[in-house]
Structure 1
Amino acid sequence: MEDHIHIFTHIHPAIPVSSLIKNIKLASSDMIKRNRLFDHFEGWQKGYGAFSVNYSSKNNLIEYIKNQQEHHQKINFITEYKRVLEENGIEFDEKYLF
């Protein structure tokens, strides 16, 4: 997808999600810039979204991620992201989303 990525991973509970995301962003930004992979890449956005799922939902989530291009032809990312937040009772201010 051109405007977001999905990362499906399992991390030890002692590792803060923020540390994982920080390390991914730093390492990938360095690699992208060093190898000149994207002409107009200026870095990742400041924020991120992280969601946990139970183990029994693992296969459904993997299929969801695999089918992102097709899926986002039906519903755009921003609309879907807001829907997920609302369905899970997560309060948000739109000015901080994107």
Structure 2
Amino acid sequence: MSFIKIYVHIVFSTMNRNPYLNTVDLRIKVWKHIKENATEKGIFLDMINGYSDHCHCLVSLGSNQNIEKIVQLLKGESSHWINKNQLTKDTFSWQDEYFAVSVSESMLESVRNYIKNQEKHHKRKSFTEEYQEFIDKYNFK
């Protein structure tokens, strides 16, 4: 038996960073649906949260999973579900691009807290600022 524990912090935004997910109730509904869908697909989604224009996921990769496929499954199914249920007034879609960074065991609690506190975090800082911090912190060029 193989033992694997690889955590990845994934962040993806709505198309053109439009604030489609503009209420707390809508976000709770979407995050709950993504979590349930992930479970059905065998994806271990440890934590999910976000704000009006983006989503943060902490995922533990399984032995037969890769980041691209997980992101595709989470984003594709959720945008289909949001549109099918007409949860936004305009057609909803996620942007193609995303961030994905590994998370060490020692940083798991810190990342969980960061994801959990998105509402509070974005009262002080926009996603544009957060995006630039990710670019700088993880040396994405």
Q: TM-score, normalised by structure 1?
A: 0.81
Runs of 4+ deviating beyond 4 Å? none
Structure 2 unaligned spans of 5+: 1-50
Shift of 1:14: 4.1
Structure 1 unaligned spans of 5+: 92-98
The alignment covers a number of residue pairs equal to 91
- Give the percent of matched residue pairs that are identical in Structure 1 and Structure 2: 29
Which structure has the highest strand share of the two?
Answer: 2
Shift of 1:8: 1.2
| 2:94 aligned residue | 44
Shift of 1:30: 1.6
- 1:3-82 correspondence to structure 2 within 5 Å: 3-12=53-62, 14-82=64-132
Deviations 1:45-85 (A, max 9, x none): 12111121101111111111111111112221111221222
Q: In 1, distance between residues paired with 2:80 and 2:93?
A: 9
Could you say what the CA RMSD is over the residues aligned between the two structures, in angstroms? Answer: 1.5
Larger RCO, structures 1/2 (Cα 8 Å, 6+ apart): 2
